[in-house]
């Protein structure tokens, strides 16, 4: 980091610490007794008990549920009561597929998403302003470029990006993070030249003369581009990740499934350990890593001292294809040939995306995981990728059966009803990414034609068939907003406000984000519903979220409890101040 940038960062942190310290002195840190009775609200148990009046928790576990009289009879006379004030208590919400480190890092980027800006001109201005600002990173990163959501967003040329930021490396990252645009300084800093070979799953775009255009496509190529960014200190990363953990908790989540540790860091696993294994983390952490990180992650997570929060290493994540919105979904039939696919995405007519994994190598990887009792989460959007995942799972299960182990399929844009039936028979859980409907539903016709647009992301069909079905936000690909993720499958409204495909009920949406997510994470004996003996992981809404979702209104999260302890998500709790000071010091001394 240059001296002016370091100074700016230090000033920023010290300023926050000073203004935060004043608040902290007056508020202190909350701590709670070990026994509580919740009453005077709706308590949705997401279990056979349905909706009840009262809940008694003791030593971090649920001790009784039922009518207030019954529950009070089970609790000690002096038990502290929590008045829900007419709000609703649900099982702690579970986000089964997210990337907290990337979410934390991109929280510092310039927001240029299609939900914030509607024209190319406004977006280019925001990028220029972002590049001109000093900040903790010597690179300028803009995040959320979205040519599929917006109409007139043709790709920025290298000359345009060089004019916006002549010296400072500049990267414009697309919303789904499967594509980026870099200026010359960024390409140079990452060591990418016209002679750099394309990776197996993507490319560095070249013009007709063979010169780089600055466009970088798919995850391996984007990762090489980002490898040029100087790394933040461990302490700064810890500070940012801790902030992301608070954000999940503020949205109502009590557990996240980390679907691999994407995000630029020297040692992402150590950063994750320091936040997930702190004394009182804001959420439980269930980890999946890239196959090459598993050997280190498994013993680290298993060997760490356990406190109240849950931490598990569950298995590995593999990518079988890319994003539907850059032409990356490995579909059975070609993409549609339209102005969007041809001119905006640059796909040839008859385009079929390659698979991102080689069949034999994948089969042996999945067999190894199966023998080790590790789950495999497969990124699979198109029918060909989904078929490959199911083939690999079937072979691995045949070679070493394990009734307690079930694998997971992720995102599932174009899964067919027959593939859902097959997944269910293989005990595979199905995780959907509803933001695709809200953000890109209006473009699906132009990408895939009407037949595939109507059967896109068939959440209701998966539920109807009885598959373990879940929903996720895949942050930072969407903003951390649990309520939105639950509401989308109920209304399935696209950006132009027209409904697309079959809806589920509000009650089902809550099940998808609680009990089913717990089943997907193989933790339904511990979390996911309010039943006696389970962990007291709880989310408190100001009003009933199920009724609100169905009415198309809002419900706000008022608080969460993790193992019976209230989670402190105030920006400047005492813990956050300590981390901020360490971050400032670490940034200066690294």
Residues engaged in binding Zn ion (CB under 5 A): 259, 474
Q: Is 240 exposed, middle or buried (0-12, 13-18, 19+ CB in 10 A)?
A: buried
Residue closer to Zn ion (CB basis): 187 or 485: 485
Residue closer to Zn ion (CB basis): 100 or 545: 100
Cβ atoms of 311 and 284 closer than 8 Å: yes
Residue closer to Zn ion (CB basis): 341 or 374: 374
CB of 283 to Zn ion, least distance (A): 17
Give the chain's length.
590
Residue closer to Zn ion (CB basis): 259 or 347: 259
CB of 362 to Zn ion, least distance (A): 18
Residue whose Cβ sits closest to Zn ion: 474
CB of 409 to Zn ion, least distance (A): 12
The candidate with the shortest Cα–Cα distance to 282, out of 512, 539, 541, is 539
Q: φ, ψ for residue 102 (rounded to 5)? A: -65, -40
Residue closer to Zn ion (CB basis): 130 or 263: 263
Residue closer to Zn ion (CB basis): 103 or 453: 103
Residue closer to Zn ion (CB basis): 95 or 526: 95
Element spanning 215, H or E: strand 212-217
Nearest-angstrom CA–CA distance, 278 and 32 = 18
CB of 99 to Zn ion, least distance (A): 6
Residue closer to Zn ion (CB basis): 46 or 437: 437
Q: Map tokens 């406004």 to a residue.
A: 122
CB of 410 to Zn ion, least distance (A): 7
Cβ atoms of 567 and 116 closer than 8 Å: no
CB of 377 to Zn ion, least distance (A): 9
CB of 474 to Zn ion, least distance (A): 4
The candidate with the shortest Cα–Cα distance to 530, out of 96, 74, 92, 94, is 92
Side-chain-side CA neighbours of residue 362 (13 Å): 25
Nearest-angstrom CA–CA distance, 510 and 516 = 9
Question: Is residue 447 classed as helix, strand or coil in its secondary structure?
Answer: helix
- Neighbour-count burial for 415-453, b at 16+ CB within 10 Å, e otherwise: bbeebbebbbebbbbbbbbbbbbbbbbbbbbbbbbeebb
CB of 139 to Zn ion, least distance (A): 23
The candidate with the shortest Cα–Cα distance to 36, out of 94, 79, 92, 98, is 79
């Amino acid at each position: 980091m240059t001296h002016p940038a370091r100074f700016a960062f230090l000033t920023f942190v010290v300023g926050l610490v000073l203004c935060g310290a004043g608040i902290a002195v007056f508020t202190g840190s909350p701590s709670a007794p070990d026994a509580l009775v919740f009453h005077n609200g709706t308590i949705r148990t997401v279990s056979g008990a349905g909706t009840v009046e009262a809940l008694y928790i003791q030593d971090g576990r649920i001790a009784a549920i039922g009518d207030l009289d019954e529950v009070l009879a089970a609790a000690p006379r002096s038990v502290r009561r929590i008045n829900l004030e007419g709000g609703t208590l649900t099982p702690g919400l579970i986000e089964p597929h997210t990337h907290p480190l990337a979410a934390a890092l991109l929280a510092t980027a310039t927001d240029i998403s299609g939900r914030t800006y509607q024209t190319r001109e406004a977006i280019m201005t925001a990028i220029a302003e972002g590049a001109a600002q000093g900040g903790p990173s010597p690179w300028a990163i803009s995040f959320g470029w979205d040519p599929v959501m917006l109409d007139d967003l043709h790709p920025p040329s290298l000359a345009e990006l060089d004019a916006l930021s002549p010296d400072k490396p500049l990267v414009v990252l697309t919303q789904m993070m499967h594509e980026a645009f870099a200026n010359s300084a960024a390409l140079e800093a990452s060591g990418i030249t016209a002679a750099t070979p394309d990776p197996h799953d993507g490319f560095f775009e070249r013009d007709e003369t063979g010169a780089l255009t600055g466009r970088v496509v798919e995850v391996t190529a984007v990762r090489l581009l980002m490898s040029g960014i100087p790394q933040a200190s461990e302490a700064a990363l810890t500070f940012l990740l801790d902030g992301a953990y608070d954000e999940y908790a503020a949205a109502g989540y009590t557990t996240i499934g980390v679907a691999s540790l994407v995000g630029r860091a020297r040692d992402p696993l150590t950063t994750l350990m320091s936040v997930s294994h702190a004394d009182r983390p804001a959420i439980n952490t269930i980890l999946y890593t890239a196959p090459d990180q598993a050997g280190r992650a498994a013993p680290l997570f298993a060997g760490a001292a356990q406190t109240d929060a849950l931490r598990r290493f569950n298995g590995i994540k593999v990518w079988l294809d890319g994003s539907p919105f850059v032409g990356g979904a490995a579909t059975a039939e070609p993409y549609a040939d339209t102005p969007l696919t041809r001119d905006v995405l640059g796909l040839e007519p008859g385009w079929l995306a390659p698979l991102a994994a080689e069949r034999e190598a994948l089969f042996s990887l999945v067999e190894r995981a199966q023998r080790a009792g590790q789950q495999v989460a497969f990124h699979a959007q198109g029918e060909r990728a989904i078929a490959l995942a199911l083939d690999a799972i079937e072979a691995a299960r045949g070679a070493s059966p394990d009734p307690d182990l079930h694998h997971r399929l992720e995102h599932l844009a174009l899964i067919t009803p027959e593939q859902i039936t097959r997944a269910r028979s293989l005990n595979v859980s199905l995780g959907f990414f509803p933001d695709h409907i809200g953000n890109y539903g209006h473009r699906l016709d132009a990408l895939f034609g009407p037949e595939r647009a109507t059967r896109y992301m068939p959440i209701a069909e998966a539920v109807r068939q009885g598959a373990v079905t879940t929903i996720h936000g895949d942050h930072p690909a969407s903003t951390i907003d649990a309520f939105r993720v639950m509401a989308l499958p109920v209304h399935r409204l696209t950006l132009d406000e027209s409904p697309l495909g079959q809806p589920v009920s509000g009650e089902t949406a809550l099940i998808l984000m609680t009990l089913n997510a717990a089943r997907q994470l193989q933790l339904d004996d511990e979390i996911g519903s309010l039943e006696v003996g389970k962990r007291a992981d709880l989310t408190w809404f100001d009003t009933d979220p199920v009724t609100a979702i169905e009415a198309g209104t809002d419900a706000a999260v008022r608080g969460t409890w993790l193992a019976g302890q209230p989670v402190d998500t105030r920006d400047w709790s005492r813990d956050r101040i300590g981390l901020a000071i360490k971050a400032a010091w670490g940034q200066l001394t690294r």
